[in-house]
């Protein structure tokens, strides 16, 4: 494993166009130590790996998927995130920096969210939320709408951490904050996208009928048609509505929403719109999600789609990872545990923290281990890492 970690560190360093000396200086690690890590002679400690990851601009779990330190650090940050939004409607301190600095920090947090770098979000979220709230309270007129947009994005990034790590009450509070801020933007697209995120609360509670009703209402109340932005927002709502309907075992409605999303995806290229990936590839991923959510009788569709197509780099890591987790469940139900394990490993390579917090991944690796009755080191290690033993 030491040589694999070293290869990942070196590859990321080259991507960043950093020399070994540059990385040693930025991470406060000796050059001799860095060289020994990159050639696989030394295994870095968790603290050392965190320092290298920070200098390289990635979550430490990207360099060693087995690392649990980031997982613990995220949980430790949740109370601070909760405290930051407890006084959302009470002005306290003035903004810590300029609006431009806040916008840059929010854009970085959005990028981390799409890449499933939850450790980095957790570290930044309390201060980011406090500063976004301070800017909103200090603003008026058109400036207030801009500040509200930044708060929406900051709250959404923090919600990704809360939701993925099972803090569903905190997630619901962050989503309420999003919706409160979205209403102050004057932008129906942002309001609609906040309803897209709100569907998480219904999925977490398994309140699928209520989730369907809320998403249908958002589609009715949302922007009509005409722009790429509108198509992306409506398409995202249809994708999520399809999954919620599938969880409610309403196949007809789920497929109707998928068809609507597919029509809208035909109007624009795959991309990230208002913080959400949408386009033809995203719709395909949701086709797999719907098939698996509908149950064992529908897995043939998921397997057929995956046989003919795999998501490319244009899709953010979190969504690509989710595709492989859902495919793994279909493969497991089809009696292909080895293929399912390979899909889970592919998911982990893309977004380790996303997989580690995914209940399906944990359930399925436990089932695979039981079916195979294996002592295979890789399977046992994966099960221990994800908390399935």
- What pLDDT band is residue 253 in, cutting at 50, 70 and 90? very high
Task: For residue range 208-242, list pLDDT tens digits in order.
Answer: 999 999 999 999 998 887 799 999 999 999 999 99
Q: For the residues 88-93, what does the mean pLDDT come to? A: 90
Residue 359 has pLDDT above 80, yes or no: yes
| Residue 318 banded pLDDT, cuts 50, 70, 90 | very high
Read off the pTM: 0.85
Q: 41-55, 98-112, 183-197, 313-327: which has the minimum mean pLDDT?
A: 41-55
| DSSP annotation of 316 | -
- Kindly report, residue by residue over 188-202, the tens digit of the pLDDT: 999 999 999 999 999
DSSP-derived letter for residue 41 is S
**pLDDT, position 258:** 98
Element (H, E) at 272: strand 271-273
**Residue 130's pLDDT is what?**
97
Is 90 exceeded by the pLDDT of residue 364? yes
Does pLDDT of 301 surpass 90?
A: yes
Q: CB within 8 A of 76, min separation 6: which ones?
A: none
Share the mean pLDDT of the chain: 91
How much is the average pLDDT of 177-183?
98
- For the chain, how many residues are written? 389
Mean pLDDT of 308-336: 95
> Taking Cα atoms as reference points, which of 375, 361, 363 lies closest to residue 65?
361
* Percent with pLDDT over 90 in the chain: 72
pLDDT for position 373: 64
Residue-level pLDDT at 375: 55
CATH topology of domain 1-57: 434 Repressor (Amino-terminal Domain) (1.10.260)
61/351: higher pLDDT: 351
CA gap 174, 128 in Å, rounded: 13
- pLDDT digit string, tens, across residues 157-177: 999 999 999 999 999 999 999
| Alpha carbons 289 and 292: distance in angstroms, whole number | 5
- What percent of the chain shows pLDDT beyond 70? 96
CB 190 within 8 A of CB 275: no
Q: Which residue has the higher pLDDT, 65 or 270?
A: 270
187-315 classified as CATH 1.20.120: no
Q: Cα(110)–Cα(240) distance, rounded to whole angstroms? A: 19
Q: Residue 389's pLDDT band (boundaries 50, 70, 90)? A: low
Confidence of residue 308 (pLDDT cuts 50, 70, 90): confident
| Boundaries of every domain in the chain | 1-57, 70-185, 187-315, 335-389
Q: Give residues with Cβ within 8 angstroms of 127, minimum separation 6.
A: 84, 96
Q: Which of 354, 381, 383, 344 is nearest to 366 (CA)?
A: 383
Task: Give the pLDDT band of residue 377 (cuts 50, 70, 90).
Answer: low
pLDDT tens for 23-75 read 998 888 899 999 999 999 998 887 688 778 877 877 787 788 776 667 777 88
Can you tell me the mean pLDDT for 273-299? 96
Tell me what pLDDT residue 33 has: 92
* Mean pLDDT, residues 274-282: 97
Kindly tell me if the per-residue pLDDT of 374 is higher than 60.
no
Residue 21's pLDDT is what? 94
């Amino acid at each position: 494993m030491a040589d694999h970690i070293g290869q990942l560190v070196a590859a990321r360093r080259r991507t960043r166009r950093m020399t070994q000396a540059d990385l040693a200086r930025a991470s406060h690690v000796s050059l001799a130590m860095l060289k020994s890590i990159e050639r696989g002679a030394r295994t870095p400690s968790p603290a050392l790996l965190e320092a290298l990851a920070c200098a390289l601009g990635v979550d430490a779990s990207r360099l060693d998927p087995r690392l649990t330190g980031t997982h613990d650090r995220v949980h430790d940050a949740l109370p601070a995130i909760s405290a930051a939004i407890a006084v959302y409607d009470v002005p306290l301190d003035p903004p810590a920096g300029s609006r431009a600095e806040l916008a840059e920090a929010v854009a970085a947090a959005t990028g981390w969210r799409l890449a499933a770098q939850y450790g980095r979000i957790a570290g930044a979220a309390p201060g980011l939320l406090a500063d976004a709230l301070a800017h909103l309270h200090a603003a008026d007129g058109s400036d207030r709408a801009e500040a509200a947009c930044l708060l929406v994005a900051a709250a959404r990034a923090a919600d990704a951490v809360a939701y993925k790590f099972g803090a569903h009450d905190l997630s619901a509070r962050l989503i309420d904050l999003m919706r409160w801020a979205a209403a102050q933007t004057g932008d129906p697209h942002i309001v609609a996208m906040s309803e897209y995120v709100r569907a998480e609360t219904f999925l977490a509670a398994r309140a699928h009928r209520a989730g369907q009703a809320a998403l249908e209402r958002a589609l009715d109340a949302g922007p009509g048609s005409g722009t790429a932005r509108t198509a992306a927002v409506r398409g995202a709502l249809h994708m999520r509505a399809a999954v919620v309907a599938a969880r409610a075992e309403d196949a007809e409605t789920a497929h109707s929403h998928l068809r609507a999303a597919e029509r809208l995806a035909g109007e624009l290229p795959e991309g990230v719109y208002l913080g959400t990936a949408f386009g033809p590839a995203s719709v395909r991923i949701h086709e797999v999600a719907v098939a698996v959510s509908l149950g064992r009788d529908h897995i043939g569709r998921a397997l057929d789609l995956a046989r003919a197509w795999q998501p490319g780099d244009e899709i953010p890591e979190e969504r690509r990872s989710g595709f492989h987790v859902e495919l793994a469940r279909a493969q497991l139900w089809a009696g292909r545990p080895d293929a399912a394990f390979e899909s889970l490993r592919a998911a982990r390579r893309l977004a380790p923290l996303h997989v580690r917090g995914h209940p399906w991944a944990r359930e399925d690796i436990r089932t695979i281990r039981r079916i195979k009755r294996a002592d295979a080191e890789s399977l046992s290690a994966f099960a221990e890492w994800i908390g399935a033993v």
